[in-house]
Amino acid sequence: MSNAVADSVYQHLLDVRQERGAAFIVLIDPDKCAVEMLPAFTACCHEAGIDAFFVGGSLLHATAFDDYLRHLRALTHLPLIGFPGSLGQVSAELDALLFLSVISGRNAEYLFGQHVHAAPIIRSLGLEPISTGYMLIESGRATTAQYMSHTMPLPRHKPDVAAATALAAEMVGMRLLYADGGSGADQTVPEEMIAAITEVCTVPLIVGGGLRTPDEVARKVRAGAGLIVIGTAIEQRPDIAYMADLAAAAHSAVTRSV
């Protein structure tokens, strides 16, 4: 971990948010970034000043997930945080794991089903679970996450419903919230919705899905996002200047105080 003072990945994320405005996180989907591409890709991420990696995907074809993570670990000092689409993505090679509940949906399996299977494994591996209320937000076309989780996304023009959902998650004790348009989303999470959520919630909000420009990133942070996640746009354009501009937008925009 980059911050020697933080005694957990969660604390590290809080510290980054406090110190830099918002954390900038790159999502690596092992199906889309082959092991051979990792040295150049991670070097680019370091140079650009990113804060952590999420690793995972809704539909992971890659075998040998542990091996993949070992390669990645050898290349970076940054936290590797699991963003699991399934039980097969729980690995001892991670530093922490988003313990996701799909709170925008009513599929019990993704609200509290897979969790029962995962919990003893997470404990025995000594992994840090970070409970996360995950909200899929309507973003144009149906996304893989929506299809795979058998859930309907939250309507994008209903910020009040999103805020109430997020508040319930905070009251239950979840430590992060995640508003996600889904990978490669046509439309990003609306600023009005981000503002409505952060108006009533105090736990940090992650925003991702379809983000492509520094201006979009800055607008999400100004609306209240505490952590920004980008995968697809960086996979498609892995150059240092572009990544650095995205990271700078997350770090320099002033988070709306709640």
Residues lying near ligand 1GP in the complex (CB under 6 A) are found at 27, 180, 182-185, 208-211, 229-233
Residue with tokens 């897979």: 114
Q: Tokens at residue 257, please? A: 């105080």
How many CA atoms, within 13 angstroms, populate the side-chain half-sphere of residue 108?
1
Q: Residue type at 174?
A: M
Interior angle at CA 226, CA 222 and CA 228, nearest 5: 90
Give the nearer residue to ligand 1GP in terms of CB position, either 190 or 231.
Answer: 231
Q: Residue type at 12?
A: H
Residue with tokens 């494994």: 121
Instruction: Provide the 8-state DSSP code for 106.
Output: -
Distance in angstroms (rounded) separating the CA atoms of residues 205 and 13: 11
Q: Among 3, 206, 1, 183, which residue's Cα sits nearest to residue 94?
A: 1
